[in-house]
Chain A
Amino acid sequence: MVDSLVNLGWNRDVAFFVASLLGAVVLASFGLVWIIFAIWLERKLAGRIQDRIGPNRAGPYGLFQTFADLFKLITKEDITPAGADRHIYNIAPIMVVASIVLIFAVIPFSATWVGADLNIGVLYFIAVGSLATLAIMLAGWGSNNKYALLGAFRVIAALISYEVPMILSVAVPVLLAGTMSMQGIVHGQSIAYIFVAPVSAFIFFVSQLAEAGRSPFDLIEAESEIIAGYNIEYSGMKFGMFMASEFIHAFVISLLTVILFLGGWQFLGAGHPGSELFGFIVVMGKAMLVYFVVILIRSTTPRIRIDHMMAFNWKFLVPLALVNLIVVAFCARIFVPDYAAAQAVADGGGLGAFLAGMFGVGFIAELPRAALCLVANIGLWVVASRLLRQYSDQERDRVRQLIQERRDQRGQTAPAAAGR
């Protein structure tokens, strides 16, 4: 595109600038437009799962429901509470959406379709994601409402805590691929990393669910139990932006899971340069699968209490992620992929040639390391779930005992009340 503009007689720098700007606009718009469809899909699926019909009035299958909601939000009165810190109050929703949309810049949709293949792609999306924390703080503070501020504190406590296991689990694909570039990580996945390190995939997915504030970690916006939270003072489209950012985030976590653990655009050796569109379809297809799981979890699980959420993070996810990182680092060091030997096996014919033809030579090279990591991961998971089981049994006994003691006490002091 730069070349065609230069051919038109443009200055090279201007052409580069305009092309980059256009690319950024297209990429951001894609995320924002896709969400209109994703919101409809989510509501429809959630309806089906809960034995309802879901949106079905506006347009065929209720497809235009989101547009109707959009117009409603735009035409609503835009209220700024008295005493609000006006600029901060207004900038917070923009920052929330921006922090999520910026992640699209490093997501490789196919072998060549990527906004910017930074060599620090993984670090970039973590850094950009941390801006959302800040935006929520601004929203809570700017509203001049103590409930909003308390809600913001709650959210930030959760977000900062869940960043720890998230980063530790992301370190595993980085370690296996030997690069922090998102494209490099996809290239390294001749065997999708979910088969190599399923425990990190699990930790990543769960902590990302928490980061996005999705059920079962959606106490951030528990409207019915504790008044919504940081966004309570927002109305109209500003509130809509918080909602939209949440939906986009849900899709972004599906995309990130696909890129980091499900092999990105790799599918039976396809999606390599020359078949961009196919790679794109593969990425989106896998992302929709993960997104479906996200919706499934959302519509079937109850909310977790904040102390349970924190305990689960600090007492289970963080230690597990730490041990997992050490185990994988150890296993990955034992078998370093040997591409020359793999090529020899592939040339040898028989099963080797079949596998190489099916999945590529990289598959054979990665196989020993992947198998070892998988076994170690499964072992780790068995031990971890044993410990978790033991702990929860202990906890249950303790709570039962407490209840029993309370009952006994009440029985002694007020027998009439107990008899009722």
Chain B
Amino acid sequence: MNWLEWGFFGVLTILVIGGGLAVVLNRNLFHSALWLIVSLFGVAGLFVMLSAPFLAAVQVLVYIGAIVILIIFAIMLTRRMMGISEAPNSQWTLGLAAAALTFLVIAMTLVLASNGANPLIPREPLTQIGGESLRDLGVALVDLNQYVLPFLLASVLLEAAMVGAIVLARGEE
């Protein structure tokens, strides 16, 4: 990494971690949802730095464009969710411990899997982002030896969820 990439990495890290902290520490639920966007945007930037622009675009499209909007809708449609002045969760120490443990496990896995190499440094330079990785991704999803089964299972799950949503929304007729 040269200094430019370090600079971008620093900014993105601040976005991700600062945004995440702001989500947790903010008392205004709506503002929390907005800070979540900042954090997710930083993650999208990290994907770009790791030569995965497809994931970055999907991150923006799905997480920011759809999921956060959904969260905001849920906040707005819930009564008395706004203007909470005291901390609503008394078990935050437990949550903190769980989050720290998860982070440790993920970090350990990453460090162990990378065989001593720095996992944050992309293996190929940023200038060589090709279309091939995207093609590989597509092929992997339909290849019998790779991820076709998880892919199909996820599709069936989503299908079931959609049918369930329609059944619930229809009510009694």
Interface residues of chain A, those whose CB is within 8 Å of chain B, are 13, 16-17, 85, 88, 118-120, 123-124, 126-128, 130-131, 133-134, 137-138, 141, 149, 156, 160, 179-181
Contact = CB atoms under 8 A, between A and B. Distances in A.
A88 B64 CA distance: 16
B131 to A, nearest CB: 4
Given A13-B3, A88-B34, A118-B53, A134 B64 contact: yes
Contacts, number: 59
Given A118-B53, A120-B53, A149-B76, 11 more contacts: A13-B4, A120-B57, A123-B54, A130-B61, A130-B64, A130-B66, A131-B64, A131-B65, A141-B72, A179-B131, A181-B131
A325 B131 CA distance: 23
Contact of B61 (A16, A123, A138, A156): A123
Contact of A128 (B37, B58, B60, B134): B60
A138 to B, nearest CB: 7
B4 A17 contact: yes
A180 B87 CA distance: 46
Contacts of A180: 134
Contact of B69 (A119, A124, A133, A179): A133
Contacts of A120: 53-54, 57, 134
Contact of B65 (A88, A124, A127, A141): A127
B134 A134 contact: no
Given A13-B2, A88-B34, A119-B131, A133 B54 contact: no
Contacts of B9: none
Closest 6 A-B residue pairs measured CB to CB?
Answer: A130-B65, A127-B61, A127-B60, A123-B57, A119-B131, A127-B57
Nearest to A184: B131
Contacts of B11: none
B69 A134 contact: yes
A396 to B, nearest CB: 25
B129 interface: yes
A303 B68 CA distance: 30
Contacts of B69: 133-134, 137, 156, 160
B3 to A, nearest CB: 7
B170 to A, nearest CB: 15
B130 interface: yes
Interface in B15-34: 30, 34
Contacts of A160: 69
A134 B61 contact: no
B125 to A, nearest CB: 13
Nearest to B57: A123
